[in-house]
Amino acid sequence: MWEDPWIPTTPARPARSLAPVMHLNMRVSDIINQESKEWDAGLLDDYENQVLSLGNICLLDGSWTASERFSGCGWVWMDSRENIQLMGTRNFTRCESALHSEVEALRWAMENMLQHSPCQSFGTDCKELITMLNDPQEWPSFATELEKIETLKICFPDFKINHVPRVRNQLSDFLAKTARNFRRELLFIGCFIPVWLPRPPQA
């Protein structure tokens, strides 16, 4: 009993990290820009990229430009071993803004996870989307869209959405941009990219 971790000792037990350690002797001051006295965003992103687990998660992205006919969205569901199990890409009449396309991407991804997988976790590289979901009252112009998301969330007992570095979300980004640039209506769900769609750059 006396060895239980909640009982204090002298000297104190060392802290145990829940995530991989980038540098054994790293201090908080090491991730602060000494000139601006702000967090070093680049280092933090690198650390987030190293420790993030992408098991059993649906990564999603939206794509929008002011000049294209369509907006696009894409998602990729990966199992607990980070193997791709399913993906989806579709376009729709251009929406009002890039953020609207991100919300639509989440809505469509949630609908598909309900139909095709037990996945409860979602990942996006759009921090504004997460901010919006955490405080929907501050985004009245998205009230209709967010109400749809809230209704879908009822079907997810353990709904989670996390920020994912853009470098870890490249396939969803590719699917969203491909759909946006497609010259006619597009909706595809499958286990791999069909031969009639472009290949991802890394393929």
Q: Tens of pLDDT along 134-148?
A: 999 999 999 999 999
Q: Tens of pLDDT along 36-74?
A: 777 766 655 655 544 456 789 999 999 999 999 999 999
What is residue 36's predicted lDDT score, i.e. its pLDDT? 79
Q: Tens of pLDDT along 149-170?
A: 999 999 999 999 999 999 999 9
* 43 Rama class: left (phi>0) / alpha (psi -120 to 50) / beta: alpha
Edge-first strand order for the sheet with 121-124 is: 160-163, 121-124, 57-63, 70-78, 84-93, 187-190
Percentage above 70 pLDDT, the chain: 78
Half-sphere exposure of 184 (CA within 13 A, CB side): 1
**Rounded to an integer, what is the distance from CA 94 to the centroid of its chain?**
22
DSSP states of 4-24: -TTS--SSPPPP--SS--S-T
Q: Which of 88, 91, 77 is nearest to 120 (CA)?
A: 77
Distance CA(46)–CA(165), nearest Å, equals: 9
Residue 2 confidence class, pLDDT cut points 50, 70, 90: low
What is residue 51's predicted lDDT score, i.e. its pLDDT? 45
Q: Are strands 57-63 and 70-78 parallel, antiparallel or unpaired?
A: antiparallel
Residue 79 confidence class, pLDDT cut points 50, 70, 90: very high
Six token digits for residue 159: 């709904």
Percentage above 90 pLDDT, the chain: 70
b or e along 117-128 (b: 16 or more beta carbons within 10 Å of the residue's beta carbon)?
Answer: eebebbbbbbee
Residue 83 confidence class, pLDDT cut points 50, 70, 90: very high
Amino acid code (one letter) for 138 = E
Averaged pLDDT score across all residues of the chain = 86
Higher pLDDT, 124 or 18: 124
Distance CA(189)–CA(75), nearest Å, equals: 9
Which residue segments constitute the domains of the chain, with CATH numbers given? 24-53 (no CATH), 57-190 (3.30.420.10)
pLDDT beyond 80 at 100: yes
- Helices 143-153 and 98-116: crossing angle in degrees, nearest 10, is 20
